Structure 1
Amino acid sequence: MHAPYNGSDDIMIGDGSSLSIIYIGSSSLKTSHNTFQLNNVLCFLL
């Protein structure tokens, strides 16, 4: 699930450049023993 991000923050990556946040949402990571819920996941386009 995701929704448009309307804030003014950016994501800074390792080389010091920044990427615009496009969406914010939630996701889950499943392992053989657990499921981890991730909230407020920031999504961007390269």
Structure 2
Amino acid sequence: MSTDLTAAPSREPVLCFAADNLDLAGVAVHAPRKPVDKVIKGLKLHG
């Protein structure tokens, strides 16, 4: 799977900011549930 992230209209507003000035808002994971549950077990999911 490949996506040109600079071409997506929803990403246009953030292109004017340096990457160092952007806060990470979330992470998406696409995989079967059991392996993902094992990986994220014990992580603080909400702060």
| Structure 2 length-normalised TM | 0.19
Structure that is richer in strand per residue: 1
Q: Which has the larger radius of gyration?
A: 2
**More relative contact order, 1 or 2 (CA 8 Å, 6+ apart):** 1
Structure that is richer in helix per residue: 2
